[in-house]
Structure 1
Amino acid sequence: MADQPFEKQAIVLSLIGLALIIGVYGIVALIVKLDDIGLAMIKDVGKTTLAAIKRGVGKGLLYFANGLMKFLSVAGVLAMLLVGVDILAHQFHLLEEIVHAIEKLIPAMSWFLSIIAKLGLGAVIGVIIAAVLSQLLAVFKKA
């Protein structure tokens, strides 16, 4: 696509972006509604084998949705720490230098050490920000 006219590049990239947005939000909507789907399936009071299977699948969906939400809550926090530190590291070169210094400790495991360093820095920065914000909130509540 790099050698195509700008208009064609813009159209193709827009269509790809639109498809990704629809896909991602569709998956998110399905995840959010997963427990509702399972609950609706459990409410089938029919006496047939199909109704019993439907209730079993519904129970399975509820169990799966519960575990998925727990996993996503942890994975989401970790992902935000990694992304946040990457964004900050591009602005504050000291953070980038710290991550690179930690990566060099064991070159064969630099990717793993990079993740650990970013998670640790993200957690420290997050705690500092939370402490500052809680103090500011306390000051404004008194006012």
Structure 2
Amino acid sequence: MAGGLVALLDDIAALAKLAAASVDDVGMAAGRATAKAAGVVVDDTAVTPRYVEGFTPDRELPVIKKIAIGSLRNKLLFITPAALLLSQFAPWALTPLLMLGGTYLCFEGAEKILEKFGLGHHEDEKPVVLEGEEQEKAMTAGAIRTDFILSSEIMVISLNEVADEPFAMRAAILIVVAIAMTLLVYGVVAFIVKMDDIGLHLARGGSGARQALGRGMVSAMPKILAGLSTIGIVAMLWVGGHIVLKGTDDLGFHTVYGWVHHLEEEAHHLGGALLGWLANTTASAIFGLILGALVVAVVTAVNRLRSPAAAHH
């Protein structure tokens, strides 16, 4: 009896060690996959704050919570199962899907740059606070739709990084990535959105240093939002351009990505790893801008062709 109990305890200990090792493996793989998707995360974090512009302060955090829940639902119920099924039964489709998503990111980035130079079309949005509950629902739904595309990119990039793992391991890794990414993005977004309120609270009381910090946070807020917008645009072009370039190489068209890789190696030789990374990033962003501008031109032309027909009907 005692021997059986000892053997059982040994088995339990062995299973616990195996489980711990599996958790460590999932954590490390999730961290690796998350790092690969960092550019899209920056973009997601930069894009989301504009969806709460115009809300009264008491509605900002509830709206961010709704968007975060919608984002997590998208990742866990729709994107992750679809990505896992594709990776299991049609792995050849992952690269084209990645390239399609990368092209969309290039399009979004190029469109925003063209708008800054007055070359794009931008529809002015009425302040949410004047439109009531229905407008809040519409803005939240719009944010969740935008997040769906960015979340799809995050999850497919993450999946591509761990494509060689067993199915169960891939599923566990993607679940960890989905939860971690959602908490990270919307935690940062909530802090950014409420930063001016925190600053006002600090500025109204306490020591002189505390008040100075509060005033600094309030005055820095517009610059931070403007900086995030710029970083988001650059991230879209860089990530989107790199995804498409890498995809063409994976599909057997090596010329263009070969040029970029050669440039990266030359820069690395001259100034080290950082300069090499900057060369690759800059080349990817330029490629993304060119590709995105071409897509914008095509979309604009198609819309102009359709407009007279729509008006006629």
Q: How high is the TM-score relative to the length of structure 1?
A: 0.70
Other structure's SS at 1:142 match: helix
Higher alpha-carbon deviation: 21-30 or 54-63: 54-63
User: C-alpha displacement at 1:17, in angstroms?
Assistant: 4.1
Instruction: Indicate how the Cα distance of structure 1 residues 66 and 138 shifts in structure 2: closer, same or farther if over 3 A, else same.
Output: same
Other structure's SS at 2:206 match: helix
Question: Is 1:142 equivalent to 2:303 in the alignment?
Answer: no
Question: Is 1:35 equivalent to 2:196 in the alignment?
Answer: yes
CA distance in 2, matches of 1:8, 1:98: 34
Question: Is 1:65 equivalent to 2:231 in the alignment?
Answer: no
Tell me the percent identity. 26
CA distance in 2, matches of 1:52, 1:110: 45
Instruction: Indicate how the Cα distance of structure 1 residues 26 and 101 shifts in structure 2: closer, same or farther if over 3 A, else same.
Output: same
CA distance in 1, matches of 2:306, 2:284: 32
Match of 1:104 among 235, 238, 262: 262
Higher alpha-carbon deviation: 76-85 or 101-110: 101-110
User: C-alpha displacement at 1:76, in angstroms?
Assistant: 0.9
- Matching residue of 1:91: 247
CA distance in 1, matches of 2:281, 2:176: 33
- Matching residue of 2:298: 132
CA distance in 2, matches of 1:17, 1:30: 20
CA distance in 1, matches of 2:236, 2:176: 27
User: Mind listing any 5+ residue stretches in structure 2 that lack a counterpart?
Assistant: 1-21, 27-166, 270-274
Q: Which amino acid aligns with 1:140?
A: R
User: Mind listing any 5+ residue stretches in structure 1 that lack a counterpart?
Assistant: none
Contact 1:103 1:110 in 2 (8 A): no
Contact 2:196 2:217 in 1 (8 A): yes
CA distance in 2, matches of 1:13, 1:92: 25
Q: How high is the TM-score relative to the length of structure 2?
A: 0.36
Instruction: Indicate how the Cα distance of structure 1 residues 83 and 95 shifts in structure 2: closer, same or farther if over 3 A, else same.
Output: farther
Match of 2:235 among 63, 74, 79: 79
Instruction: Indicate how the Cα distance of structure 1 residues 58 and 13 shifts in structure 2: closer, same or farther if over 3 A, else same.
Output: same
Instruction: Indicate how the Cα distance of structure 1 residues 112 and 22 shifts in structure 2: closer, same or farther if over 3 A, else same.
Output: closer
Contact 1:104 1:110 in 2 (8 A): no
Q: Which amino acid aligns with 1:103?
A: H
CA distance in 1, matches of 2:253, 2:286: 11
Aligned residues: 137
User: C-alpha displacement at 1:41, in angstroms?
Assistant: 5.2
Higher alpha-carbon deviation: 99-108 or 81-90: 99-108
CA distance in 2, matches of 1:128, 1:22: 35
Instruction: Indicate how the Cα distance of structure 1 residues 117 and 35 shifts in structure 2: closer, same or farther if over 3 A, else same.
Output: same
Q: Which amino acid aligns with 1:27?
A: V
Instruction: Indicate how the Cα distance of structure 1 residues 125 and 57 shifts in structure 2: closer, same or farther if over 3 A, else same.
Output: same
